[in-house]
Amino acid sequence: MNKFRNWLYRFMIGRYGHDKLNYFLIIVAMIVSITSGLFFRGNMYVSLFVYLLLTITLVRMFSRNHYRRRKENGKFMELTRPIRSFFKQIKRNVTDRSHKYYTCPQCGQKVRVPRGRGKIEITCPSCRHRFTRRS
């Protein structure tokens, strides 16, 4: 048992581990494998795709090339930024009871305004563009 623990310890030294991209790959694999039974009737190519995703996840997890893995994750985070900021804004609007969050239609800057003031004119703090919203 001790020998195995030592081996495992040595095996795990310098391994990359988890990041956001790996979580994303696992979630996609799970969703695809659950829905494949419903819509693709267990299609072989869909199963292969799921195994491919899980293989990539494992390879990345046990990789010693941290530089490349971090670069891949950075690319992933960059590509998904618009989607993540979209959901972040929805979450903020749901959880923050005293403010509302809007996106400037001209430059995309996030603007926070106090809630419950009726229709207001908002001036974007970064580009000075004016737009009207209900607070």
Report the residue from 106, 113, 115, 117 that binds Zn ion according to the rule CB under 5 A: 106
C-beta closer to Zn ion: residue 6 or 123: 123
Which candidate, 85, 67, 73, 89, places its Cα nearest to that of 25?
A: 73
Contact 26, 52 (CB under 8 A): no
Residues 18-47 contacting Zn ion, CB under 5 A: none
- Distance in angstroms (rounded) separating the CA atoms of residues 55 and 47: 12
Residue 99 has a CB neighbour count (10 Å cut-off) of 14
How far the first Cα of the chain sits from its last, in Å, is 63
Contact 115, 98 (CB under 8 A): yes
**Residue 123 within binding range of Zn ion, rule CB under 5 A:** no
State the nearest-atom distance from the C-beta of 89 to Zn ion, in Å: 15
**Residue 109 within binding range of Zn ion, rule CB under 5 A:** yes
State the nearest-atom distance from the C-beta of 56 to Zn ion, in Å: 39
Count of residues near Zn ion by CB under 5 A: 7
Contact pattern from residue 85 through residue 104 relative to Zn ion, giving x for each residue in contact according to CB under 5 A and a dash for the rest: -------------------x
In degrees rounded to 5, what are phi and psi of residue 114?
-65, 145
Q: Which stretch binds Zn ion (CB under 5 A): 35-43, 71-79, 89-97, 116-124?
A: 116-124
Q: Which residues bind Zn ion (CB under 5 A)?
A: 104, 106-107, 109, 124, 127, 129
